[in-house]
């Protein structure tokens, strides 16, 4: 296992010089969270631009009148108390903070009128500076609203904490706390979007799915080493969001994620090493969970039903140590990957036998299923409801990229061979967004061959 210092050593030299800069100077290197101390232009908007007011936002835009644009101040005002609750910050600490946002369908028009300063770096989506933000309208109400929230979160983080941390944390938490459902006073966050139609043009989960299909997934360490530099590529934002959502998913990690926010002035590698030291004993489990998470992270992903319980201290189930008796485990049909409760030594050859009946939902009628699955519907090329198995190493090598899970289709009976010490995980195969309406369980007997 890598030491806390060596884990992030490859980026240390790159990041050390940031410690010599004021947070405002560091922020000026980042896309979408680029913040500085100097005030932005306060030129009055021309008559053809509309100004919309909220409690914590003043929005200047050249977009035509529409329900989506009109609801932006109320949406922003609904988000602010939720951000404060997430960070456990009292409303009184906001003081007179209020964000001025230029939402631009035609950025050139704002530049001609002195409302988009020429000294700002080139950006495709959004940029924040102190209590001012500029957002390029993206062609969908959701994505434009998301970017307004994203930049607002950056501004608020600098207001409260003097900074927002290194790139992965800054952008990950901004994406986490901007990804929302609902509009106006009904806006809620953070959420996993229920489907593609709910978040047109946003595309983060589409990108993750493409990389998963191509077998190109980053390790959690590589995401946390993203450099603090200007980028118009959306991919680092997608992975940073995934990392923040993953940490938010598990209560034991969520508290540590929140606790880092007040350290936002630190953009060096030390910021991330602090998190690593706090989670040192659980780091192998965290890395395994990250790999499992990426295997099914998609629209409608259930953050509770897809939590995986892993234990490095689980007994090693080794026939050479007298553990020859068959193992029986019960797998719930309404949850994602579930552990068999033991570690398996390298070289194990297992025979699995499954039995049971369970429901894959009740609409339009109860859909009864057995371990072989139902061939009237498939997910990832396998019959829905089929019993599946996978192996996750208990102490994998530290690499910048990880392979997707190797899934074994078990059904009523199947075999598994263990190449390195691993946890054996099982699940009833289903679409990640549809676990909640399943009922019942399957009993699995596991034998050493």
Successive 10-residue mean pLDDT values, the chain, 449 residues: 39 32 37 40 68 98 96 98 97 96 97 94 93 97 98 98 97 98 98 96 95 94 89 89 98 96 96 95 94 95 95 90 86 96 94 96 85 88 94 86 93 96 96 91 95
| Count of helices and strands (H, E) across the chain | 14, 19
CB atoms within 10 A of CB 447: 14
Show Cβ contacts of residue 233 under 8 Å, excluding neighbours closer than 6 positions.
none
Q: Kind and range of the H or E element at 84?
A: helix 72-87
CB 395 within 8 A of CB 421: yes
Tokens 């979160």 -> residue: 153
Write a three-state SS string for 333-396: CCCCCEEEEEEECCCCEEEEEEECCEEECCCCCCCEECCCCEEEEEECCEEECCEEEEEEECCC
Using CA atoms, how far apart are residues 449 and 416, in angstroms rounded to an integer? 10
Give all strands of the β-sheet with 407-409 in edge-to-edge order.
338-344, 422-428, 387-393, 407-409
Q: How many CA atoms lie within 13 A of 267 on its CB side?
A: 30
| Res 363: pLDDT | 80
- Closest by alpha carbon to 7, among 289, 269, 282, 281? 269
What is the DSSP track for 248-298? HHSHHHHHHHHHHGGGTT--SHHHHHHHHHHTGGGHHHHHHHHHHHHHH--
Taken in order 31, 32, 33, 37, the sign of the CA dihedral is positive
CB atoms within 10 A of CB 401: 11
Using CA atoms, how far apart are residues 403 and 123, in angstroms rounded to an integer? 33
- Closest by alpha carbon to 127, among 36, 51, 213? 36
| Res 433: pLDDT | 86
Give all strands of the β-sheet with 57-61 in edge-to-edge order.
50-53, 57-61, 99-104, 132-136, 126-129
Q: Which residues pair with 440 in a beta bridge?
A: 358
| Res 110: pLDDT | 96
Using CA atoms, how far apart are residues 135 and 146, in angstroms rounded to an integer? 10
| Res 48: pLDDT | 79
- Helix, strand, coil share (%) of the chain residues, nearest 5: 35, 20, 40
| Res 190: pLDDT | 97
| Res 44: pLDDT | 61
95 by DSSP, 3-state: which?
coil
Walk me through the domains of the chain, giving residue ranges and CATH numbers. 4-296 (1.10.390), 319-448 (2.60.120.430)
How far apart are the two ends of the chain, measured CA to CA in Å? 31
CB atoms within 10 A of CB 311: 13
- Closest by alpha carbon to 380, among 415, 430, 307, 437? 430
| Res 57: pLDDT | 98
CB 144 within 8 A of CB 138: yes
Q: What are phi and psi of 164, to 5 degrees?
A: -130, 15
Using CA atoms, how far apart are residues 281 and 272, in angstroms rounded to an integer? 16
Using CA atoms, how far apart are residues 353 and 335, in angstroms rounded to an integer? 20
Tell whether omega for the bond before 364 is within 30 degrees of 0, i.e. cis: yes
């Amino acid at each position: 296992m890598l030491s806390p210092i060596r884990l992030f050593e490859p980026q240390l030299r790159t990041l050390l010089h940031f410690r010599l800069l004021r947070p405002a100077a560091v922020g000026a290197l980042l896309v979408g969270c680029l913040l500085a101390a100097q005030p932005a232009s306060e030129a009055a908007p021309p008559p053809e631009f509309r100004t919309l007011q909220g409690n914590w936002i003043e929005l200047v835009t050249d977009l035509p009148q529409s329900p989506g644009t009109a609801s932006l101040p109320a949406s922003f005002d609904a988000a602010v108390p939720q951000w404060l609750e997430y960070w456990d910050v009292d409303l009184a600490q906001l003081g007179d903070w209020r964000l001025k946002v230029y939402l631009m369908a035609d950025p050139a028009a704002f530049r001609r009128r002195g409302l988009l300063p020429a000294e700002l770096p080139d950006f495709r989506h959004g940029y924040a500076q102190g209590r001012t933000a500029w957002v390029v309208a993206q062609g969908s109400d959701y994505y434009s609203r998301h970017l307004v929230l994203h930049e607002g979160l950056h501004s608020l983080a600098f207001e409260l904490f003097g900074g927002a941390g290194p790139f992965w944390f800054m952008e990950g938490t901004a994406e986490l706390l901007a990804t929302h459902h609902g509009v106006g006073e009904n806006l809620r966050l953070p959420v996993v979007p229920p489907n593609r139609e709910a978040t047109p043009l946003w595309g983060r989960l589409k990108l993750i799915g493409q990389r998963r299909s191509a077998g190109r997934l980053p390790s959690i360490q590589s995401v946390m080493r993203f450099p603090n530099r200007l980028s118009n590529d959306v991919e680092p934002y997608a992975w940073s969001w995934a990392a923040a959502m993953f940490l938010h998913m598990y209560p034991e990690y969520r508290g540590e994620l929140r606790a880092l926010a007040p350290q936002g002035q630190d953009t060096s590698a030390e910021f991330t090493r602090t998190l690593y030291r706090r989670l040192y004993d659980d780091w192998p489990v965290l890395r395994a969970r990250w790999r499992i998470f990426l295997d099914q992270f998609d629209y409608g992903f259930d953050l509770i039903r897809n939590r995986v319980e892993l234990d490095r201290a689980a007994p090693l189930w080794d026939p050479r140590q007298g553990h020859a008796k068959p193992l029986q485990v019960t797998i719930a049909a309404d949850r994602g990957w579930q552990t068999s409760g033991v570690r398996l030594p390298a070289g194990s050859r297992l025979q699995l036998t499954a039995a049971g009946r369970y429901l894959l939902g009740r609409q339009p009628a109860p859909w009864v299923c057995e371990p072989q699955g139902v061939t009237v519907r498939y997910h990832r090329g396998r019959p829905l409801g089929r019993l599946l198995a996978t192996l996750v190493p208990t102490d994998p090598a530290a690499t910048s990229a990880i392979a997707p899970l190797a899934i074994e289709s078990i059904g009523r009976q199947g075999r598994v061979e263990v190449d390195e010490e691993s946890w054996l995980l099982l699940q009833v195969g289903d679409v990640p967004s549809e676990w909640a309406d399943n009922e019942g369980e399957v009993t699995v007997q596991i034998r050493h061959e």
